[in-house]
Structure 1
Amino acid sequence: MNSEITVQHISECYVKPSHLPQQVIHLTTWDLAMLSFHYIQKGLVFQKPGGQHSFIQLFLHKLKDALSVTLAHFYPLAGRFARKQHHPNSFTISIDCVNSPGARFVHSSVDTTISDILSPPYVPIIVQSFFDHHKAVDYDGLNMSLLTVQVTELFDGIFVGCSVNHSVADGTSYWNFFNTLSQVFQGSPMTAPILERWFPDGCGPVISLPFTRDDQFISRYETPILKERIFHFSIAALARIKAKANAHFKDKATRISSLQALSAVIWRCVTRVRGLTQDQISSCCMPANNRSRLDPPVSKHYFGNCIQILRTFTTASKLLANDFEWAALQINKTIIEHDDKSVRKSVATWLQTPVTYQLKQLVDPGTIVISSSPRFNMYGNEFGLGKPVAILSGYGNKFDGEVTLYQGREGEGSIDTGICLNPDIMSALECDEEFLGCFN
């Protein structure tokens, strides 16, 4: 693709909810912990309808109307962060849903085709310009929109991208919003989100942060030059990996999922091609959805962050000396041990010593970080354009060793895996026998 091609912004505006309650939304421990992360940036590629000269203007008008109606239910996304100093050494951050211009809506275009975007082996850097909030961190929501919907016209396609503040929503909430926006656009029934934030007994809803300077809890990570490639794992390939991971377990209570097995394979293969020393720590980090782990459980329609990062680790030599089934079992154990007691203990620990996740702390030559989930309904968002052609993500939260899981287009359990690596390590992974064997 021509590196000189740029995305041209045609117009922008702000969209407010069709109706808005007078309400302030307080942030939970999980929300506040995300303040130094980038915005979530995910979007869908669609074929452009042919023979409709006025299509784009009608589409934009209808999408803005649908966004306004959707925001009436997801109104935190139309707000801005508000910071209030309570004491010289502490402050709070909440979502002001009233004193805000609303969510941002951008119409842009680029002189390229769907094939130009999807046919190269690596995701073109131009895709980063299909999203707003480039390099912004969640704390910037004090002055930036918490949501931007950007529609980018290609020669033969339409890209609908959403950039959402990660301190307002996690992946589950993000796709619940995206799904609802598509449903409202098409006039389908929708399910309203649960906006009441979860706080442990005796805590909240106002949580103070004990910092005096922004640099004590905010850092801006600059992503180095990386190669990002999306690998497709078919239903059949995943079934083979899962069956192999479970074949030798006499205890039938132990069941390795397709996702755990795939994560184990990627963890081992990336560790191998990185050439770590034998005693170097290698870890696989992945977000855990706490909704179903809490007792009583939280609704799957809970809107906000309800996740935390789990870490499975060992030495590089032990990881590679054992087979991938062993690695999958270690991941499985970490996930099983994360129950209601574990969740509440971690929240209590955070309240004693509040911290924010720093991207630079996740960047380690021995670490891979799994993000997103193939269980999210991504290809069900059609906006009257038919099934999306592909799913792509932006610059946000990308680093060496970051792995993004997408729903496979064929459905029924297939997974597309976006892997970001140093260019030399990516080349080595593409030749790794164990990794290549997963596709046969």
Structure 2
Amino acid sequence: MGVGEEVKVVESFVVSPSRETPRKSLPLSPLDLVLANRGHTPLVFFYRSCAAADSEDDIFFDVARLKAAMATALVSFYPLACRLGVDGDGRAQIDCAEQGLPFFVAQSDLTLDNFINFKPSPELRRLFVPRLDDSPSVVCAIQVTFLRCGGAALGVAVHHAVVDGISTCHFLRTWAAFSSGDGAAAAALEPPCHDRTLLRARSPPIVHPDALSVFCPKLSPSQSDTMPDAVVNEIFTISMDQVAALKRSCSFGRGDISTFCAMSALVWRCVCAARRLQPDAMTRLTFQANVRRRLRPPIPDSYFGNGIIMLCATGKVRDIASESEEQLASVAGRIGGAIRRMNDELVRSAIDYMELDMAAGLLATPAGGMSETELTVVSWLGMPFYDVDFGWGKPLVMHRAVQQRAGLVYLMDGAGGSVRVLASMEPATLNDFRRLLYGNTAKL
């Protein structure tokens, strides 16, 4: 595994569940299959060295302890130790035969100070996340890199066809609880639900005619207006007080507005203005929505797989980019309205739509660029990734290791109630977006 001179892999092994697990095939739902072409999601966590150990034997990021804890966690989360395969009809599935989860241990002369801004970059992925180019069927792999300063980087590569962010966080928190020896925390976490038939298509599939007004099947960029290949990433922090003021501004007599709706409305406004789009052009915001509690009956929060669909809100650029406080509230309300319309029928129609697309051979289309009038916002708000404490403290920072699609924004919890905005933009847009985002929040 050649990752360059900065990082040297010194050990590699495969972690298997500590007890026997089911040997069977698990189907992938249409919600899984629509994300199959995305490959492995690269995540990176940075940890400072723990100066106050419980004893001399308490080694910071002790590999043996991490390995034993993972083996215990994989008993419940056994699909992560499996491989992707295909059934007799050529449909992707998870083949479970206790193949094990690849685990790499590396050392580096780099320090945390080398990554002071912690921006996602190809370099972060190259250095700290397992490279699985030659092992595309591996579901999940881990790399722990010990840094010269005494800190550590934890890199995670997990296949998006198998799990979404909610399920990934569930596994990492469980592994961390076993590693830290916090039995109460481990007991408080629900075991994962592996019944993937809960999100299978109906027979026959039925798409309600109103579903497509909110559900966004997939992005379809045109040849003429896709964004350039060059992408720059920046992380912006909006303080807790600014977020609270933004939510008050967006309520405008409409009742409570969620942090996601308020922040998405503001980011959408700033992106439209920064890109200098034509006022009469139509622009679209797409965003992920968790379906688990929207079905009737609801499926468990612990459902282990992809439980998300893409919703959308649209409008004319002049309305979205307007500096009017009332108009910003209207945009936030438009986003919230799309979320409120996500009921059982809409979700089932979305699943059926994907099933029909798959039958027509249209589902696994390559993920390309987006139109300049498109913006996608992904919310990690409320996901307790920062609770992933293996016994030596919570992470200093975590996010995707690399993000190379312009027009994609992640919203993440920051310190002290703040919100971190990870924006991936074309270089010509980023400076204006920064000015507009901070200029708008400064006026709140």
Band the TM-score falls in, shorter-chain normalisation:
0.7 to 0.9
Does residue 345 (structure 1) correspond to residue 327 (structure 2)? The answer is no
Do the aligned partners of 2:181 and 2:391 also contact (CA within 8 Å) in 1?
A: no
Tell me the CA shift for residue 55 of structure 1.
Answer: 7.0
Do the aligned partners of 1:246 and 1:325 also contact (CA within 8 Å) in 2?
A: yes
Aligned match of 1:379? 386
Do the aligned partners of 1:66 and 1:181 also contact (CA within 8 Å) in 2?
A: yes
**Deviation by residue 1:168-212 (Cα, 9 ceiling, x = unmatched):** 1011101001111111111222431111111357559xxxxxxxx
**Alignment partners' CA distance in 2, 1:344 and 1:187:** 41
- 1:38/1:324 CA distance change after superposition, 3 Å: farther
Tell me the CA shift for residue 298 of structure 1.
Answer: 1.0
Give the residue type in structure 1 aligned to 2:96: C
Aligned match of 1:235? 240
Do the aligned partners of 2:228 and 2:426 also contact (CA within 8 Å) in 1?
A: no
Aligned match of 1:95? 94
Do the aligned partners of 2:380 and 2:411 also contact (CA within 8 Å) in 1?
A: yes
Does residue 183 (structure 1) correspond to residue 186 (structure 2)? The answer is no
Aligned match of 2:251? 246
Aligned with residue 391 of structure 1, among 398, 402, 424: 398
Tell me the CA shift for residue 54 of structure 1.
Answer: 8.3
Aligned match of 1:8? 8
**Alignment partners' CA distance in 1, 2:61 and 2:357:** 51
Does residue 150 (structure 1) correspond to residue 143 (structure 2)? The answer is yes
Tell me the CA shift for residue 95 of structure 1.
Answer: 0.8
Q: Give the alignment of 1:96-135 within 5 angstroms.
A: 96-98=95-97, 101-119=99-117, 122-129=119-126, 130-133=128-131
List structure 1 segments (4+ residues) > 6 angstroms apart after TM superposition: 51-58
Sequence identity percentage: 24
Does residue 400 (structure 1) correspond to residue 397 (structure 2)? The answer is no
**Alignment partners' CA distance in 2, 1:62 and 1:203:** 47
Give the residue type in structure 2 aligned to 1:48: S
- 1:58/1:267 CA distance change after superposition, 3 Å: closer
Aligned match of 1:298? 299
Do the aligned partners of 1:287 and 1:371 also contact (CA within 8 Å) in 2?
A: yes
**Deviation by residue 1:364-397 (Cα, 9 ceiling, x = unmatched):** 21111112411101111111111211113123x6
**Alignment partners' CA distance in 2, 1:265 and 1:78:** 41
**Alignment partners' CA distance in 2, 1:265 and 1:5:** 42
**Residues matched between the structures, number:** 402
- 1:369/1:359 CA distance change after superposition, 3 Å: farther
- 1:160/1:391 CA distance change after superposition, 3 Å: same
Aligned match of 1:208? none
Aligned match of 1:75? 78
Give the residue type in structure 2 aligned to 1:14: V
Tell me the CA shift for residue 306 of structure 1.
Answer: 0.8
**Alignment partners' CA distance in 1, 2:392 and 2:60:** 14
Do the aligned partners of 1:378 and 1:407 also contact (CA within 8 Å) in 2?
A: no
- 1:127/1:419 CA distance change after superposition, 3 Å: same
- 1:21/1:265 CA distance change after superposition, 3 Å: same
**Alignment partners' CA distance in 2, 1:177 and 1:278:** 45
Secondary structure of the residue aligned to 2:44 is strand
**Alignment partners' CA distance in 1, 2:121 and 2:91:** 39
**Alignment partners' CA distance in 1, 2:302 and 2:442:** 35
**Alignment partners' CA distance in 2, 1:201 and 1:358:** 19
| Range with bigger deviation, 50-59 or 369-378 | 50-59
Q: TM-score, normalised by structure 1?
A: 0.84
**Alignment partners' CA distance in 2, 1:64 and 1:235:** 38
Aligned match of 1:436? 439
- 1:118/1:425 CA distance change after superposition, 3 Å: same
**Alignment partners' CA distance in 2, 1:245 and 1:222:** 30
Tell me the CA shift for residue 41 of structure 1.
Answer: 2.1
- 1:382/1:54 CA distance change after superposition, 3 Å: same
Does residue 162 (structure 1) correspond to residue 156 (structure 2)? The answer is yes
Q: TM-score, normalised by structure 2?
A: 0.83
Secondary structure of the residue aligned to 1:304 is coil
Give the residue type in structure 2 aligned to 1:47: R
**Alignment partners' CA distance in 1, 2:369 and 2:332:** 21
